[in-house]
Amino acid sequence: MPDTNIISQTHLIILHMFQISGYTFIRNDPVQHLLPTRKLSHLPMLTLQQQIEDAAELLQHAHHIAVLTGAGISTESGIPDFRSPGSPWQDNPPVGYKAFITDAEARQRYWQTRRNLSAQVALAHPNAAHYALVELEKMQRLAGIITQNFDGLHQDAGHLPERVIELHGTSREAACTLCGNRSSMSELQQRIDAGEIDPCCPLCGGYMKAATILFGQKVPDTALLPAKKLASTCDLFLVIGSSLKVTPASMLPHIALRREIPLIIINLQPTSIDHLADVTINQKAGEVLPRIIALLR
Binding site for ligand NAD (CB under 6 A): 70-72, 74-76, 79, 81-84, 148-151, 168, 241-243, 245-246, 266-269, 284-286
52 burial type by CB count under 10 A (0-12 exposed, 13-18 middle, 19+ buried) = buried
Residue nearest ligand NAD, Cβ-based: 72
User: DSSP E strands: which ranges in the chain?
Assistant: 65-69, 142-147, 164-166, 169-176, 182-184, 208-212, 236-240, 263-266, 279-281
- Cα angle 81, 84, 86 (rounded to 5 degrees) comes to 100
- Examine the residue annotation and report whether 63 is marked as an active-site residue of this protein: no
Nearer to ligand NAD, 241 or 262 (CB): 241
169 burial type by CB count under 10 A (0-12 exposed, 13-18 middle, 19+ buried) = buried
Nearer to ligand NAD, 58 or 71 (CB): 71
Nearer to ligand NAD, 15 or 157 (CB): 157
Taking a C-beta distance cutoff of 8 angstroms, is the pair 74, 149 a contact? Answer: yes
In whole angstroms, the minimum distance from the beta carbon of 144 to ligand NAD comes to: 17
| Residue (of 2, 11, 45) closest to 31 by Cα position | 11
Catalytic position from the list 154, 168, 254, 275: 168
In whole angstroms, the minimum distance from the beta carbon of 281 to ligand NAD comes to: 9
| Cis previous bond, 248, omega within 30 | yes
d(CA 80, CA 96): 19
Nearer to ligand NAD, 23 or 89 (CB): 89
In whole angstroms, the minimum distance from the beta carbon of 182 to ligand NAD comes to: 18
In whole angstroms, the minimum distance from the beta carbon of 71 to ligand NAD comes to: 4
d(CA 245, CA 71): 12
Nearer to ligand NAD, 120 or 233 (CB): 120
Backbone angles phi, psi at 42, to 5 degrees: -85, -5
In whole angstroms, the minimum distance from the beta carbon of 239 to ligand NAD comes to: 9
Residues annotated as catalytic (active site), given as ranges: 168
